[in-house]
Amino acid sequence: MSKATFDKTDAKVSANTVSPSKLSPNTVSPSKLSPNIKLNYPLPLTDHPNVLMAHGSGGRMTAQLIDSLFRTAFDNPDLDTLHDGARLTLPTQRIVMTTDSFVVHPLFFPGGDIGCLAVNGTVNDLAMCGARPLYLSVGFIIEEGLAMDTLWQIVQSMRNAADKANVRIVTGDTKVVERGHGDGLYINTTGIGVLEHQQVIGPAQVRSGDSVLLFGDIGRHGMAVMAQRENLRFNSTLESDCAPLAEVVLALLNAGIDIHCLRDATRGGLAAVLNEIAVASGLQIDCEEAAITVNHDVRSACEILGFDPLHVANEGCFVAMINPADQQKALSIMQQHNPIATIIGSVQETSVQLTSVQQATSAIVTLRTSIGGQRILDLPTGELLPRIC
């Protein structure tokens, strides 16, 4: 029987019931979760405290998992059609679609979890295109042995995040992979949003003279996750800045702000997004280091580990390239949503003498330092690794 909008799979069914076992030692127990998540353990799966290969087999157990967890948490009319896809009517033909996958480890971290990250990450990508986010699909790849309770916490968290972001989760898929092949849980979300204005927003629209505004402080997500790592543990009250950004973007659009480009500073941090925009637009971006707000805990942790906060991931922070005539109005609107929004720089024609490599990419981002010097802000080279050097 075709059941729900969650696809079944022909995954291998284990002949023996797998006894509950510990997964990754880094999985934080639900008791350390944000108090916002209601613990409401679903019914008929008490015989199976852990996800089994059979839950991905497409049969009765898959149906039970979908009914008990996913449909309960994501409950909405589109999901209840119980078909292989959701039939949606959109208010306009100008739509935005985006997809993202989430593999964060540990699954729970101060200020969030993989679930709310999966919702907000895709919501924010839609917002960065200037769209009002409407619908999400979600694909779960669950490692055999994941505690059902853990999955339930995450799914609840997704529902909370979806409600806060005014989106609905309307379709999805579930797969289970053998123990040792999944890091607990991976999630993919794909989102659809609509453009309710005529503006075109993207790096190609950036112009010389544009003001660069920063919404939020930098580094909190990456360092909050880093603080949980066994080998780097430090004590702080730092929490991820994981949050939806659509509301402030829609406020800017509704106020008629001439927005040229928006980009949220996720992996690679602020340095990565500024460089990407510089490359894509062929222009130089000059910023003032003192204008970039860095949380005190982030700064302290970055100093001792040898990280640059500009390279650290964020999940609730974006840059906006704005027509300079609108900069004060835009700043005022942003500050209503987050008082620490600031103007951090401007876009120029390229003026710095480029190395041969920089000439090839025409990408240059400069930073005026606290002592008045000029630093060229490069892309981070790779994984953030603590250094002694």
Nearer to other proteins, 190 or 300 (CB): 300
Query: Looking at 56-64, 165-173, 257-265, 355-363, which segment touches other proteins (CB under 8 A)?
Result: 355-363
- Letters for 224-263 (x = contact with other proteins by CB under 8 A, - = none) are -------xxxxxx-x-------------------------
Query: Looking at 10-18, 141-149, 261-269, 365-373, which segment touches other proteins (CB under 8 A)?
Result: 365-373
Q: How far is the CB of 267 from other proteins (least distance, A)?
A: 17
Among 254, 328, 351, 369, binds other proteins (CB under 8 A): 369
Among 262, 301, 333, 341, binds other proteins (CB under 8 A): 301
Distance CA 387, CA 81 (A): 53
Q: What type of residue sits at position 199?
A: Q
Structure tokens at 27: 């999985």
Beta strands across the sheet bearing 318-322: 259-264, 318-322, 211-215, 342-348, 284-288, 364-368, 374-376
25 in contact with other proteins (CB under 8 A): no
Among 166, 300, 323, 350, binds other proteins (CB under 8 A): 300
Asked if residue 281 lies in contact with residue 357, where contact means CB atoms within 8 angstroms, the answer is no
22 in contact with other proteins (CB under 8 A): no
Nearer to other proteins, 32 or 375 (CB): 375
Q: How far is the CB of 175 from other proteins (least distance, A)?
A: 24
353 in contact with other proteins (CB under 8 A): yes
Residue matched to tokens 């209840």: 80
Query: Looking at 111-119, 171-179, 205-213, 371-379, which segment touches other proteins (CB under 8 A)?
Result: 371-379
Nearer to other proteins, 9 or 234 (CB): 234
Q: Would residue 58 be called left, alpha or beta, if left means φ above 0 and alpha means ψ between -120 and 50 degrees?
A: left
Q: How far is the CB of 182 from other proteins (least distance, A)?
A: 16
Nearer to other proteins, 91 or 386 (CB): 386
Asked if residue 284 lies in contact with residue 237, where contact means CB atoms within 8 angstroms, the answer is no
Residue matched to tokens 């149906």: 63
- Could you tell me which of 102, 141, 96 has the C-alpha nearest to residue 118? 102
373 in contact with other proteins (CB under 8 A): yes
352 in contact with other proteins (CB under 8 A): yes
Residue matched to tokens 């402080």: 217
Query: How many residues touch other proteins (CB under 8 A)?
Result: 41
Distance CA 73, CA 38 (A): 11
Q: How far is the CB of 352 from other proteins (least distance, A)?
A: 7
The torsion angles phi and psi of 67, rounded to 5 degrees, stand at: -65, -50
Burial (CB < 10 A; 0-12, 13-18, 19+), residue 377, is: buried
306 in contact with other proteins (CB under 8 A): yes
Query: Residues with Cβ < 8 Å from 243, sequence gap 6 or more?
Result: 120, 315, 316
Distance CA 353, CA 346 (A): 18
Nearer to other proteins, 15 or 371 (CB): 371
**3-state SS class at 264:** strand
Angle, to 10 degrees, between the axis of helix 114-128 and the axis of helix 246-254? 20
387 in contact with other proteins (CB under 8 A): yes
Q: How far is the CB of 344 from other proteins (least distance, A)?
A: 17
Q: How far is the CB of 339 from other proteins (least distance, A)?
A: 20
Cis peptide before 91 (omega within 30 of 0): no
Q: Residues in the site for other proteins, rule: CB under 8 A? A: 231-236, 238, 296-297, 299-301, 303-306, 352-358, 368-376, 378, 381-383, 385-389
